[in-house]
Amino acid sequence: MNLYCVLHRGGALFLAAVFFAVLPFSLSAVETMGGHGAAQGQRGSFFPGIYFTDTINASRRAEDASPYWVRTQAEQEVYERRVTDYASILLNNDILAYYGHPRSRVMGILGRYPMEELYRQLTVTAGNYEAISGGRGIKKAFYIIYGTVWPQGAIGYISNELLTQWIEFALEHDMLVFIDHQIGRFDPVESVRKLYPWLRYPNVHLAFDPEWRTPRPMQEIGHVTAAEINRIQQEMQDYMYANDIPGERLLIVHQFNWRMIRNRENVRADFQRVRLVHCISGIGTPQMKRDTYAYGARATNIPIKGFKLWYDFGLSGHTDRPLMTPAQVYALEPRPQVIMYQ
C-alpha cells in the first residue's frame, strides 16, 4: 500500500505495527549497555523517548482520538519524520573514524594518504571491529580538524572547497564526517556556531576539543564549562529545527584531563536531536589509556563514550605503544561507541 494514500487511523496503526515489529531488535543494543530498565530510567540522556513502547502507544492513542481524514503527501512526510528524525545511528552501530587534517602529516592519519587509500585502510580496520562487535554494524567516518589553533590562540580554518571535497567523497562512500573546532582563545559557543551551516549535509556531525580553548596553546591545557557545552547543544538543536534539518546529529567533546571540562557533573545529555559523545583521548601504554578511560567513565551523566587511539608515526609524545587491539578497545567499560584513530 502506498503510505501517502492510506487513511489517517489505518496509517497510524500500520506504522506503529511496523515499528513494534523491529523494536525488540532495536532495544537489544540498549539492553547490552545496562538493561532496558536502566535505559528507561535515563531515556532522555541515552536515546530519545520515541524508542520506548509507552511513548509510541501514547502517540497512537492521540492519533486514534483525532478526526478522520486522509493525509496529503506533505502530511505523511511530516508524520514519518516523527520517527526518522529521532532514529539514532548509535542504536545498532558503532562508529570508526580516521582523524586529522588533510593538509598536515603531523596531525593525524588523514594527512598521510589520499582519500581512496584512507577509505581502503579504514574498511580493513572496520572489518576487524565488526568481526567482534557482537552483531553491531560499523559506520566509517572521517574526522576532520576544521579550525586549527595557532600561537596565541589564533585559529586557522580549512578551506571550504577542500572540506566540501571530503564531505562529498564520504557521501558517495556511505561515510560520516565529523568537523572539529579547536576553539583557541575564542568563545566556544560562537566558535562552534561557525560549523552549523555544514549540517546541511546529511552525513555531517560536529566536534570540539577543550584542550585547545586557550590563548596559550602547548603551554597550558584549555577548558570549557558544562554550561558552555549545554549551550552549544541547545543552539545546535535550535539551528536544526529552524532550518528543518532532518535526523539526529552527534556532537563530540574530548577529555583526557580533569581541567578540560569544568563542572562536568552538570553536563546535559538529554537533547532530543543532538547526541553528545564524551571522547576520552589519553596517550600511552594500554594501561595508561585504561586509567584515563576509567576517569572518563565516571561521568555517567554523559553515557555515550568515545575513545581515541594514536598510530605510531614517529612523533615524540603522540604515540600509543603498543597500539591497543580492537578486542582491548571493546573490553573497556562502558564499551565505547565512537572509536577514532589519529
3-state secondary structure of 92: coil
Are the C-beta atoms of residues 71 and 11 closer than 8 Å to each other?
yes
Residue with the larger pLDDT of the pair 274 and 71: 274
Q: What pLDDT band is residue 95 in, cutting at 50, 70 and 90?
A: very high
Query: What confidence category does residue 56 fall into, taking pLDDT thresholds of 50, 70 and 90?
Result: low
Stretch among 7-16, 162-171, 190-199, 230-239 having the lowest mean pLDDT: 7-16
Q: Decide which of 84 and 228 is more confident.
A: 228
Environment class of residue 235 by beta-carbon count within 10 Å: exposed (0-12), middle (13-18) or buried (19+)? middle
Enter the C-alpha cell of residue 238. 535550535
Distance of alpha carbon 14 from the chain centroid = 31
Residue 47 — very low, low, confident or very high, per pLDDT cuts 50/70/90? low
Share of the chain above pLDDT 90, in %: 70
Q: What is the pLDDT of residue 77?
A: 77
CA atoms of 7 and 268, how far apart (whole Å)? 40
The three cell numbers locating residue 261: 571540562
Q: What are phi and psi of 210, to 5 degrees?
A: -60, -25
**Which parts of the chain fold into alpha helices (H)?**
8-31, 36-41, 43-46, 53-64, 73-84, 115-130, 160-172, 188-193, 226-242, 286-297, 326-330
| Paired strand residues for 8 | none
DSSP state of 199: G
Say which range, 43-47, 198-202, 275-279, has the weakest mean pLDDT: 43-47
The answer to whether the CB of 178 falls within 8 A of the CB of 206 is yes
Mean pLDDT, residues 9-20: 33
Arithmetic mean of pLDDT over the chain? 85
Percent of the chain's residues with pLDDT above 70: 81
Alpha carbon 295 to chain centroid distance?
Answer: 20
Using the 8-state DSSP alphabet, how is residue 178 labeled?
E
pLDDT(330) > 70: yes
What are the grid coordinates assigned to 242, written together?
Answer: 529552524
* C-alpha span between 329 and 133 (Å, rounded): 11
Instruction: Give per-residue pLDDT as tens, 30-40.
Output: 333 333 344 34
pLDDT at residue 229, rounded to an integer: 98
Task: Give residue 49's pLDDT band: very low, low, confident or very high (50, 70, 90).
Answer: low
Q: Give the confidence band of 302 by pLDDT, cuts at 50, 70, 90.
A: very high
Mean pLDDT to the nearest integer, 30-54: 45
pLDDT tens per residue across span 235-251:
999 999 999 999 999 99
> Mean pLDDT throughout 300-328?
92
With cut-offs at 50, 70 and 90, classify the pLDDT of residue 233: very high
Q: How many CA within 13 A on the CB side of residue 300? A: 8
Q: Tell me which amino acid residue 264 is.
A: R
How many other CB atoms are there within 10 angstroms of residue 172's CB atom?
9
Q: What is the band of 48 on the pLDDT scale with cuts at 50, 70, 90? A: low
Whether the bond into 286 is cis, omega within 30 of 0: no
Question: Domains in the chain, please, with CATH?
Answer: 8-84 (no CATH), 90-341 (3.20.20)
pLDDT digits (tens, 9 = 90+) for 137-156: 999 999 999 999 999 999 99
Write out pLDDT tens, residues 85-94: 878 899 999 9
pLDDT of residue 70: 75
Cβ 46 vs Cβ 303: under 8 Å: yes
Report how far residue 332's alpha carbon sits from residue 297's, in angstroms, rounded to the nearest whole number.
9
